[in-house]
Amino acid sequence: MKVVVIGAGVVGSLIAREFCKYDVEVTLIEKNLDVGWGVTKANSAILHAGYDDPPGTTRARFCSKGNAMYDQLAKELDIEVKRIGSYVVAFDEQEFKVLEKLLNQGKTNNVPGLEIHDRNEVLKREPNLNPQVLAGLWAPTAGITEPWNVAVAAVENAISNGLKLILGEKVVGFEFHGTRIKKVITDKNSYDADLVVNAAGLFADEIAKLAGAEYVPLYPRRGEYILMDKKLGKIVNSVIFPTPSSISKGILILPTVDGGLLLGPTAEDLPEDMKQNLGTTSSGLRQIKDFVKKLVPNIDYSFVVKTFAGLRPESPQKDFFLGPSKVVANFINAMAMRSPGLTAAPAIAKYIVEDVTQGQLAFKLERKKDFNPYRKAIKKMVELPLEEWQRIVQENPAAGRLVCFCNEVTEAEIIEAIRRGARTLDGIKFRTRAMFGRCQGGFCSIRIMKILQRELGVDMSQIVLKSPGSWIVDGRVRE
Helix axes 425-432, 445-456, angle to 10 degrees: 110
Contact 4, 193 (CB under 8 A): yes
Neighbour count for residue 383 (Cβ, 10 Å): 8
Q: What is the 3-state secondary structure (H, E, C) of 72-137?
A: HHHHHHCCCCECCCEEEEECCHHHHHHHHHHHHHHHHCCCCCCEEEEHHHHHHHCCCCCCCCCEEE
Contact 232, 303 (CB under 8 A): yes
Neighbour count for residue 251 (Cβ, 10 Å): 25
Contact 186, 29 (CB under 8 A): yes
- Residue 338 and residue 48: Cα distance in Å, rounded? 12
- How distant, in Å, are the alpha carbons of 435, 443, 453 from that of 468? 20, 23, 16
**Burial class of 273 by CB neighbour count within 10 A (0 to 12, 13 to 18, 19+):** exposed
Contacts of 469-477 with C-beta under 8 Å, sequence gap 24+, read 472/425, 472/445, 473/449
Q: Which residues on neighbouring strands pair with residue 392, listed in sequence order?
A: none
Phi, psi of 254 (to 5 degrees): -155, 155
Is 48 part of the annotated catalytic residue set?
yes
Q: 466 Cβ partners below 8 Å, 6+ apart?
A: 32, 33, 34, 37, 424, 425, 426, 427
Catalytic residue of the set 31, 48, 221, 275: 48
- Residue 55 and residue 104: Cα distance in Å, rounded? 10
Q: CA angle 187-190-192, nearest 5°? A: 155
**Burial class of 144 by CB neighbour count within 10 A (0 to 12, 13 to 18, 19+):** buried
Catalytically active residues, by annotation:
48
